[in-house]
Chains A and B, each alone.
Chain A
Amino acid sequence: MIRLILTRLALFVPTLLAASLILFIAINVVPGSAARSALGIDATPQAIMRFEALNGLDQPLHVQYFEWLGKAVKGDFGRSFQNRVDVGPEILKRLPVTLELALLAFLVANVIAVPLGAIAAYRHGHPADSVITTCATILGAVPNFWLATLLVLVFSLKLRLLPAGGFTPFLQDPARNLTQMILPAVSLGLVSSALLLRIMRASMLEVLSSDYIRTARAKGAPDGTVITRHALRNATIPYLTVGAVEFGFLFGGVVIIEDIFRLPGIGSLVLVGIINRDYPVLIGSALVVTVAVLAANMLVDIIASLLDPRQVHSKSGAA
Chain B
Amino acid sequence: MSLSTEMARSIRWTWRRHGILSIGGVLVGLVVLAALGADLIAPHSPYELDVARMLQPPSLVNWLGTDEVGRDVFSRTIYAARISVEVALVAVGVGLVGGTLIGVFAAYFGGFVDMALMRLMELLFSVPAILLAVILMASLGTNILNAMIAIGIIFIPGFARLARATTMDALRQQYIEAARVIGMSDIRIIFREILPNILAPSLVEAAVAFAYAVLLESALSFLGLGAQPPEPSWGNMINTGRGFMAQAPWLGIVPGTALFLCVLGFNLLGDGLRDLLDPHLRESQ
A-to-B contact residues, CB < 8 Å: 15, 18-19, 21-23, 26-30, 33, 125, 137-138, 140-143, 145-146, 149-150, 152-153, 157, 205, 248-249, 251-253, 255-256, 259-260, 270-271, 273-274, 277, 282, 286, 289-290, 293-294
Q: How far is the CB of A270 from chain B (nearest CB, A)?
A: 7
**Roughly how many angstroms separate A28 CA and B140 CA in the complex, as a whole number?**
9
**Roughly how many angstroms separate A138 CA and B271 CA in the complex, as a whole number?**
13
Say yes or no for B32: interface residue by CB 8 A criterion. no
Say yes or no for B264: interface residue by CB 8 A criterion. yes
Q: How many residues of B contact A (CB 8 A)?
A: 47
Contact for B138 among A21, A27, A149, A293, CB less than 8 A: A27
Q: Assess whether A255 is in contact with B131, with CB atoms less than 8 Å apart.
A: yes
Q: How far is the CB of A62 from chain B (nearest CB, A)?
A: 17
Contact for A271 among B141, B223, B246, CB less than 8 A: B223
Q: How far is the CB of B250 from chain A (nearest CB, A)?
A: 11
List 29 A–B pairs whose Cβ atoms lie within 8 Å, in order of A's numbering. Answer: A15-B122, A18-B122, A19-B126, A22-B124, A26-B139, A29-B139, A29-B140, A33-B139, A137-B271, A143-B219, A143-B256, A143-B260, A146-B238, A149-B242, A149-B256, A150-B252, A150-B253, A152-B242, A152-B245, A153-B252, A248-B128, A249-B129, A252-B130, A270-B131, A271-B134, A274-B137, A290-B127, A290-B131, A293-B127
Chain B: which residue is nearest A294 at the CB level? B126
- Residues A286 and B123 in contact in the complex (CB < 8 Å), given A249-B128, A255-B223: no
**Roughly how many angstroms separate A23 CA and B126 CA in the complex, as a whole number?**
10
Kindly list 8 other residue pairs between chains A and B, CB separation below 8 angstroms, not including A26-B136, A256-B223. A19-B123, A26-B132, A29-B139, A141-B211, A141-B260, A146-B259, A255-B130, A255-B223
Which of A27, A33, A255, A277 has the most chain B CB within a 10 Å cutoff?
Answer: A255
Q: Assess whether A145 is in contact with B12, with CB atoms less than 8 Å apart.
A: no
Q: Which residues of B have CB within 8 Å of A255?
A: 130-131, 134, 223
Q: Which residues of B have CB within 8 Å of A286?
A: 127, 131, 135
**Roughly how many angstroms separate A21 CA and B124 CA in the complex, as a whole number?**
10
Q: Which residues of B have CB within 8 Å of A33?
A: 139, 141
Q: Which residues of A have CB within 8 Å of B215?
A: 143
- Residues A260 and B126 in contact in the complex (CB < 8 Å), given A26-B139, A143-B260, A270-B134: no
Say yes or no for B167: interface residue by CB 8 A criterion. no
Say yes or no for B108: interface residue by CB 8 A criterion. no
Chain B: which residue is nearest A16 at the CB level? B126
10 closest Cβ contacts across the A-B interface? A252-B128, A141-B264, A146-B256, A252-B130, A274-B138, A141-B263, A19-B126, A18-B123, A153-B245, A29-B139
Query: Main secondary structure on chain A at its contact with chain B?
Result: helix
Q: Assess whether A290 is in contact with B260, with CB atoms less than 8 Å apart.
A: no
**Roughly how many angstroms separate A162 CA and B140 CA in the complex, as a whole number?**
39
Digit string of B223-254 for contact with A (CB within 8 Å is 1, else 0)? 10100000000010010011001100100110
Q: Which residues of A have CB within 8 Å of B268?
A: 137
Q: Assess whether B219 is in contact with A149, with CB atoms less than 8 Å apart.
A: no
Chain A: which residue is nearest B259 at the CB level? A143
Q: How far is the CB of A272 from chain B (nearest CB, A)?
A: 11
Q: How far is the CB of B152 from chain A (nearest CB, A)?
A: 14
Q: Which residues of A have CB within 8 Å of B124?
A: 22
Q: Which residues of B have CB within 8 Å of A153?
A: 245-246, 249, 252
